[in-house]
Amino acid sequence: MDFTGKTIWITGASSGMGKATAIELSKKNLRLIISDRDEKGLINTAAEIKKNGSQARIVVLDMSAQDEITSTANRILSDGKTIHALYQFAGISQRSLVLETPLENDRKIMEVNFFGIITLAKAILPHMIKNGGGQFAVASSLVGKFGFPLRSAYAASKHALHGFFESLLAENYDEGVRVSMIIGGRIQTNISKFALNKEGKEHGKLDDGQANGISPEKAAVQIIKGLKKEKREIPVGGKELNMLKIKRFLPGLAYKLARNIKPT
């Protein structure tokens, strides 16, 4: 993937990995479309992008609103510009046990993390194929590879993304479409703070693991390195990524470690 001169759409761009990735990419002389429901955050991201000499178009977008996603995609595509890549970082997490989580919370998490993501991908895919291909990247998680306490719906949504985008890649590889799944470990973002608790309200706390993780800026460097190489999976984080190897080669141990994680 050569980023120079390309147009790349990034969701979840008002904070965290989405913001950091947009700013890091803006050093490569390209055009960016940045989306989030937080308009103020997008304005701040766009200001940083401008400092690096790239252009940013702000598009306020709620990833839980399917009709809005489709109409927004159609509006952007009607401008006639080629979208070379779509990188999706938008999402919400969870901090509640299976027994105490109402189905409405499960559905809300799936609506944003899965249905919102695939709705936008489906809207952009025909455009990419028509223009000779393109690149999708989606923020998954270590929890997208295995489940552990307090993350049942979040883990389910990330597992679902892997299945969907692996299928999308298999069907459209010969059309020049490429897919990268971003496997995030412990990264200093606010995702735990805004995670849903059992009442469907914000968790309001930054997990210790995330607080001690790598910065979004360091994560962005790892992400872009993987995107440039068009890696199918891009692990991002620190020593916690060893869990991927344990799951692959010692699955029994991986399940045992997951069971022993203390809910906090």
For the annotated catalytic residues, the residue numbers are 154
What whole-number distance in Å separates Cα of residue 181 and Cα of residue 162? Answer: 7
Name the 3-class secondary structure at 168: helix
| Total residue length of the chain | 264
- List the one residue out of 88, 70, 86 whose CA is nearest residue 78: 70
Strands lying side by side in the sheet with 7-11: 55-60, 31-36, 7-11, 85-88, 134-139, 177-184, 233-236
The four Cα atoms 13, 90, 57, 66 give a dihedral, to 10 degrees, of -160
Q: Where are the beta strands (DSSP E) in the chain?
A: 7-11, 31-36, 55-60, 85-88, 134-139, 177-184, 233-236
What whole-number distance in Å separates Cα of residue 104 and Cα of residue 162? Answer: 23
- List the one residue out of 174, 33, 194 whose CA is nearest residue 109: 194
